[in-house]
Amino acid sequence: MRAIGQDEFGGPEVLKVIEVVRPAPGPAEVLVRVHAAGVNPTDSWHRATGGLAGAVIPLGWDVSGVVEEVGAGVTTLAPGDEVFGMPRHPLPAGTYAEYVTSSARHLARKPAGLSHEQAAALPLAGLTAWQALVETAGIRPGQRVLIHAAAGGVGHLAVQIAKARGAHVIGTARSAKHDFLRALGADELVDYTETEFENAIEPVDVVLDAIGGAYGPRSLRILRPGGVLVALASPAEAYLAEQARPLGLRAGFMIVEADHAGMREIAALAEAGLLRPELDTVLPLEQAAKAHELADSRRTTGKIVLSVAD
């Protein structure tokens, strides 16, 4: 089968189309014929550095496709089922390929109202937003939630999830993206290029920070007592917990995990029309390098997706 591989760390140019043996599903696994694969910032990080393991791995975690085969013991899925999910994360999955194996419990049935390209844009970013806001921060109706990089892959889904949970949503984004975010339900917006966000909004209960750097400490200043900051950009942000504790706050770095229950929650929101991914760009599998160039620019709105099968 065709897949995307690399022989060395580096920029997008190291990515190339390769031929590899089609995998076979093991016990409790399914083989999925990939129709589309999402592109995420963590893909670029692993391409450039090898991630936490420092090793070349098959890239890609987001997948939407059709079950081709099932392994021993699988009872929840059958050949022909349309599925989407985030296999194995944070372990390698390799969804930049024509076929991928996955634990059956790392997938959910694709919402009928979404194309494969739309469904492939949801798993990693959607699960990140869900696990950060709902399971880690425990957002409640009426709480004020600040989402940094609100128009990004995680951000625009986080806006919708927070609204679906009854929160008052504030986002940081360039002015050109404010109309887009208002249409998703954002209640307040701040152009971070024109004003310092901490001087523009009232205190909040929850912060979701996908930017990192100085944004973490600055965000702690505007959290109410008992508030929560969830950082996504770098494992180094674990230090925020020490800064937050004396202030009566919670903070720290979170890594998204493969999660069948979370995938079903995301699918239910999509089926109800409460969660829709914005597709910035869809490119064929062989243009994975171009997709990474766009991702590395940090100027996209929503998600980049690779189309693999018709």
Q: Report the candidate in 168, 186, 151, 182 with the shortest Cα–Cα distance to residue 278.
A: 151
Stretch 273-298: mean pLDDT: 97
What is the average per-residue pLDDT within 105-110? Answer: 98
Domain locations in the chain? 2-122+277-307, 125-253
Q: What is the pTM of this model?
A: 0.96
The residues facing 189 across adjacent strands are: 171
> Which stretch of DSSP H or E encloses residue 33?
strand 29-39
pLDDT at 133 over 80: yes
At residue 156, the pLDDT reads 97
For 2-122+277-307, the fitting CATH number among 3.30.70.1290, 3.90.180.10, 3.90.1640.30, 3.30.2010.30 is 3.90.180.10
Q: Which long-range contacts (CB under 8 A, 24 or more apart) does 270-274 make?
A: 270/111, 270/113, 270/114, 270/119, 270/122, 271/111, 271/112, 271/113, 273/113, 274/160, 274/163, 274/164
Q: What is the pLDDT of residue 227?
A: 98
Task: Give me the mean pLDDT over the 107-121 stretch.
Answer: 97
Strand partners, 17: 4
Q: How confident is the model at residue 109 (pLDDT cuts 50, 70, 90)?
A: very high
Angstrom distance (rounded) from CA 188 to CA 208: 15
What confidence tens digit (pLDDT) does each residue in 11-21 have?
A: 999 999 999 99
Q: What pLDDT sits at residue 95? A: 98
Residue 178 phi/psi, 5-degree rounding, is -65, -40
Which residue(s) pair with 32 in the sheet?
67, 100
Q: Which residue has the tokens 């694709």?
A: 110
Copy the structure tokens of residue 70. 């099932």
List of residues 6+ apart from 179 with CB closer than 8 A:
none
Domain 125-253 grouped into CATH 3.40.50.720: yes
Q: Is 29 left (phi over 0), alpha (psi -120 to 50) or beta?
A: beta
Across the chain, what does the average pLDDT equal?
97
Q: pLDDT at residue 267 above 80? A: yes
Q: What is the mean pLDDT of residues 108-134?
A: 98
Strands (E), 79-167: 82-85, 99-103, 107-109, 144-147
pLDDT of res. 310: 73
Q: What tens digit of pLDDT does each residue of 34-93 get?
A: 999 999 999 999 999 999 889 999 999 999 999 999 999 999 999 999 999 999 999 999
Contact residues for 58 (Cβ-Cβ < 8 A; gap 6+):
3, 5, 92, 93, 94, 96, 97
**What pLDDT was estimated at residue 52?**
86
Q: What is the pLDDT of residue 299?
A: 84
- Under DSSP, the state recorded for 310 is -
Residue-level pLDDT at 236: 86
Query: H/E element holding 17?
Result: strand 16-19
Q: How many residues can be counted in the chain?
A: 310
Q: How confident is the model over 236-241, as a mean pLDDT?
A: 91
